[in-house]
């Protein structure tokens, strides 16, 4: 059985060695590597060894390096050194050097056997421009440290070409059936996030999954975005071009318009802000998103609020609950004392109940786990029941509204048979994926079913209205271009630790 070696407890530090004198005792590969690292850090290096290996020989012409080709002498420590590497091929001599340094108050490390008796260890490190990354297992596994370092080095190499990006699809480019195939219902959300987390060059990301859009929003290398790998993971390649890719300023603009509600199925709706916040919180909790993406979404929410205020006078603002109510009034006439079943007690389901109750409808609301609470006005018009008793509640209803999130249909042909032949019932399916099975109400002439796309076509937005709102939004986004530039500078620029 393999037993994991326990590492030493260490305090990570970055030594400022520029101009300081350091000694390397030894001339082999390890000694040459340590001398090279000290030179790169700007130290004045003295190397003492009876024989120089290939790596040490290559350093002989390096500025700031003195080489003495002879055996180490205890008097070598009298040179006023700040730091010493005992890297000879003689373990006993290395330990003598450590002890002699301790007496003199000089930091000393042995990068070979007996390292734990020294004062510090050298982590596996690399530099990329002004970024230095070090990895240590406290001496437990040098091989593991190197593997992690090499992985991080490849990751950091892509940071210089990082951009904001959005990949996704929505109702403007893909129909409901196409969007359903990508919907991140149930465990698919976490599974998709785990897959994206393994992708090199995707630094931070969040998944936005609503009734009309599926999007990957994040910070990624340009090469990765262009490769199409992210598209294939999300499933966009199956849509035959019915998706979008936004990078840089276009991605910044897109997210601002999304949170402003201008790209919603009902332009101007207000649920999207809460949905974006929930998506970000969920992604942060999973470790997919961090500071930069939080900054970006925070600025987008602020800009979206400004856009919403400017666009409000230009739009006939409606949430999906408003459209549902208006559609039912068109189909049923007055809603006073109409028996309506609402399946789902989330934000949209509760919103539908509140609006229908204000029109005097008699509502039965089904819930999965927790009974919903309504306003005092709606409570008098609404009764609640657990969804597992849905067959008992479906009889004698004049309309059914479905607003449940989940991978499987709620209403099936078995439920349709409970409605009874010849009865007229209006079904509004607000779920994505749809809450009604494909064969629901098949052959029942009196039952009509509309989904989100049907509602969208029924409403018929005023194109000129939306165009004016988008023009105002673009002016506002342009006024906030410094937000984009500041966020990108925080990625590219150095940060004082």
Contact 289, 281 (CB under 8 A): no
- Going from the first residue of the chain to its last (497 residues), give the mean pLDDT of each consecutive group of 10, the final group possibly shorter: 59 89 94 93 94 91 90 93 94 94 94 84 76 72 71 65 93 93 90 94 94 95 91 95 96 97 89 95 95 96 96 82 92 95 93 95 93 91 93 92 90 88 90 92 89 82 85 96 92 50
Give residue limits of the domains in the chain.
Answer: 21-122, 159-316+472-492, 320-459
Contact 303, 480 (CB under 8 A): yes
Closest of 12, 15, 63, 16 to residue 36, by C-alpha: 63
Predicted local confidence at residue 7, as pLDDT: 65
* DSSP conformation class of 315: S
Cα 41 from Cα 38, distance rounded (Å): 5
Predicted local confidence at residue 5, as pLDDT: 56
Predicted local confidence at residue 173, as pLDDT: 95
237-240: Cβ within 8 A, 24+ apart: 238/181, 239/169, 239/174, 239/178, 239/182
Q: Which fold has domain 21-122?
A: Rossmann fold (3.40.50)
Predicted local confidence at residue 319, as pLDDT: 84
Predicted local confidence at residue 317, as pLDDT: 63
Report the b/e string of 344-354 with b at 16+ CB within 10 A.
bbeebbbbbbb
Half-sphere exposure of residue 303, counting CA atoms within 13 Å on the CB side? Answer: 28
Predicted local confidence at residue 496, as pLDDT: 33
CATH of segment(s) 320-459: 3.40.50.720
Cα 310 from Cα 314, distance rounded (Å): 8
Cα 328 from Cα 450, distance rounded (Å): 11
Predicted local confidence at residue 182, as pLDDT: 93
Predicted local confidence at residue 267, as pLDDT: 87
Half-sphere exposure of residue 381, counting CA atoms within 13 Å on the CB side? Answer: 25
Sign, CA dihedral 431-434-437-443, equals: positive
User: Do 159-316+472-492 and 320-459 show the same overall fold?
Assistant: no
Residue with tokens 């590492």, as numbered in its chain: 7
| Structure token pair of residue 357 | 């109750």
CATH of 159-316+472-492, one of 3.40.50.300, 1.10.10.10, 3.30.2130.10, 3.30.460.30: 3.30.460.30
- E strands, 241-395, in order: 244-247, 339-343, 362-367, 382-386
Half-sphere exposure of residue 480, counting CA atoms within 13 Å on the CB side? Answer: 24
Predicted local confidence at residue 386, as pLDDT: 95
Predicted local confidence at residue 218, as pLDDT: 96
């Amino acid at each position: 059985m393999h037993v994991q070696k326990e590492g030493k407890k260490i305090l990570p530090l970055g030594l400022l060695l520029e101009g300081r004198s350091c000694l390397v005792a030894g001339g082999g590969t390890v000694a040459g590597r340590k001398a090279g690292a000290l030179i790169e850090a700007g130290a004045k290096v003295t190397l003492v060894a009876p024989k120089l290996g290939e790596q040490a020989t290559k350093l002989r012409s390096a500025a700031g390096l003195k080489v003495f080709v002879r055996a180490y002498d205890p008097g070598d420590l009298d040179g006023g050194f700040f730091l010493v590497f005992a890297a000879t091929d003689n373990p006993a001599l290395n330990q003598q050097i450590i002890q002699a340094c301790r007496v003199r108050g000089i930091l000393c490390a042995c990068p070979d056997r007996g390292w734990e008796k020294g004062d510090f260890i050298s982590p596996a490190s690399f530099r990329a421009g002004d970024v230095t990354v070090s990895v240590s297992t406290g001496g437990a596994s040098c091989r593991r440290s190197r593997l992690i370092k090499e992985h991080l080095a490849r990751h950091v190499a892509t940071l210089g070409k990082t951009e904001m990006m959005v990949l996704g699809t929505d109702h403007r480019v893909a129909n409901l059936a196409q969007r359903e195939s990508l919907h991140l219902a149930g465990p698919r959300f976490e599974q998709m996030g785990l897959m994206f987390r393994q992708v090199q060059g995707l630094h931070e990301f969040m998944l936005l999954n609503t009734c009309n859009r599926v999007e990957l929003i994040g910070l990624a290398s340009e090469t990765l975005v262009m490769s199409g790998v992210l598209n294939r993971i999300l499933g966009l390649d199956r849509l035959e071009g019915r998706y979008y890719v936004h990078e840089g300023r276009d991605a910044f603009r897109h997210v601002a318009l999304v949170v402003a509600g201008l790209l919603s199925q009902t332009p101007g709706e207000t649920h999207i802000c809460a949905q974006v916040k929930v998506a970000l919180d969920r992604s942060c909790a999973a470790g997919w998103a961090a500071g930069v993406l939080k900054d970006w979404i925070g600025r987008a929410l602020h800009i979206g609020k400004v856009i919403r205020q400017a666009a409000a006078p230009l739009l006939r603002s409606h949430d999906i609950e408003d459209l549902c109510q208006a559609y039912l009034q068109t189909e049923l006439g007055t809603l006073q004392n109409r028996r309506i079943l609402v399946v789902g007690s989330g934000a949209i389901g509760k919103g539908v109940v509140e609006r229908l109750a204000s029109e005097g409808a008699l509502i039965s609301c089904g819930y999965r786990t927790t009974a919903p609470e309504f306003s005092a006005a709606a409570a008098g018009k609404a009764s609640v029941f657990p969804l597992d008793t849905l067959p008992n509640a479906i009889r004698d209803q004049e309309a059914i509204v479905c607003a449940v999130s989940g991978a499987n249909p709620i209403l099936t042909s078995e439920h349709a048979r409970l409605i009874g032949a010849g009865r007229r019932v209006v079904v509004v399916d607000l779920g994505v994926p749809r809450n009604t099975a494909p064969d629901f109400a098949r052959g029942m002439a009196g039952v009509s079913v509309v989904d989100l796309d049907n509602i969208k076509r029924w409403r018929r937005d005023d194109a000129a209205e939306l165009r004016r709102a988008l023009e105002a939004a673009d002016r506002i986004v342009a006024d906030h271009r410094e937000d984009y530039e500041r966020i990108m500078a925080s990625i590219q620029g150095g940060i004082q630790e």
